[in-house]
Amino acid sequence: METETRSNDETLLSCRSLTREYTRGADGWLSRVRSTDRPSVTALDGVSLAVDRGEVVGIAGPSGSGKSTLLHLLAGLDEPSDGTIELAGTDVTALSGRGRTRLRLDHVGVVFQRFYLLPSLSARGNVAVPLIQRGRSKRARRDRAESLLETVGLGDRAAHSPDELSGGEQQRVAIARALVTDPDVVLADEPTGELDSATGERVLELLTEVADDRAVVLASHDDRALRRADRVLHLRDGQIIDDG
């Protein structure tokens, strides 16, 4: 089932007829040379959606329904087999890998279930990582990172290494990192997946707070998370079965 795309001037992120097929065994050089047909798996099948500024959209569905695939495509981390993605007025599918990376740096903040903090850096250093790629001065990076750590309630933990932080604190650091470039879109993939309920509530509160002037897409099978969304899209077998 393909849902209708609601697009207007406030739309920051949209996709149309998004399809992603994976071909089994297609990664090896030998399999690329061989011309035999290989079985393929459709992870996403003709998905369309639009997310407006200030909107929190939840993506619900069981494991394997295509939630993460959709998020990765929207972030430009993967390429669709078919369909288009528009992010902040740019056709993502027309960009090269380098162009998508650049677009991510400028417009997208990503939050993962497993935080992915760099153990060699402090909380402050982790938040500031994207600013290095932007060529920001050390002082500017430090000020911006500390300001965001204050925002997420970790002002006093800036110098701590990830090993010294709890899971909830690490996820808040990851959220601060996602916001450090002031992105238009925040994509969160199971952000509460490894947190207890109280900590998860705090993280979700943070994510919905940041949606004031940006679009937030939240993939989760946690009902608490989905209840905070303005609307929830239900995925099953790579298709949207309900656009609520």
Partner 1 sequence: MAEGSRLRRVVGLVGVGARSAVARLVGGRSRRVLVTVVGVAVAVGFTLAVTGVALGLASGATVGGEDVDYWIVPDDGSSTMTVASDGLRLGDSHATALSIADDSRVDHASPVLLEFVGLENPSAGVGEYVLVVGVVPSDEPFEVAGVSTGELTAGDPRYANGNYGGDPTNEVVLSESAAGLLNASEGTDLRLRTRDVRTQRVAVEDVDGASSAGVGSVPIAVVHLAELQSVTGTTEGDHANQILVITNDPSVRGDLEGVYPETNVIARDGVGLDRSVGDELPLAVVVAAFVTAVGVGALTVATMMGLEVTNDRRRLALLAAVGYTRRSRALVVLVEVLTVALLGGLLGVCLGAAGIEGTNRIAASVVGDAPPARFSPVLVPYGIGLAIVIGVVASLYPVYLSYRTRPMEVITR
Question: CA-CA-CA-CA torsion for 47, 49, 55, 59, nearest 10 degrees?
Answer: -10
Sketch the per residue contact string, 53 through 72, with partner 1: x for CB under 8 A, - otherwise: ---------------x---x
Among 91, 116, 213, 227, binds partner 1 (CB under 8 A): 116
- What is the DSSP code (8-state) at residue 155? G
105 near partner 1, rule: CB under 8 A: yes
Among 2, 52, 82, 106, binds partner 1 (CB under 8 A): 106
In the β-sheet with 82-87, what is the strand arrangement from edge to edge? 40-52, 11-23, 82-87, 90-91
Burial of residue 19 (number of CB atoms within 10 Å: 0-12, 13-18, 19+)? middle
224 near partner 1, rule: CB under 8 A: no
Distances (CA, A) of 146 to 9, 48, 104, 117, 155: 34, 38, 22, 16, 6
By rule CB under 8 A, what count of residues binds partner 1? 36
170 near partner 1, rule: CB under 8 A: no
Contact window for partner 1 (CB under 8 A) among 84-92, 96-104, 147-155, 198-206: 96-104
Among 181, 192, 220, 239, binds partner 1 (CB under 8 A): 181
Q: How far is the CB of 8 from partner 1 (least distance, A)?
A: 25
Measured distance CA(223)–CA(127) in Å, rounded: 28
Burial of residue 119 (number of CB atoms within 10 Å: 0-12, 13-18, 19+)? exposed
Q: Summarize as ranges the residues that interact with partner 1 (CB under 8 A).
A: 68, 72, 75, 77-78, 97-98, 101-102, 104-106, 108, 110, 112, 116, 118-121, 125, 129-138, 140-141, 177, 181-182
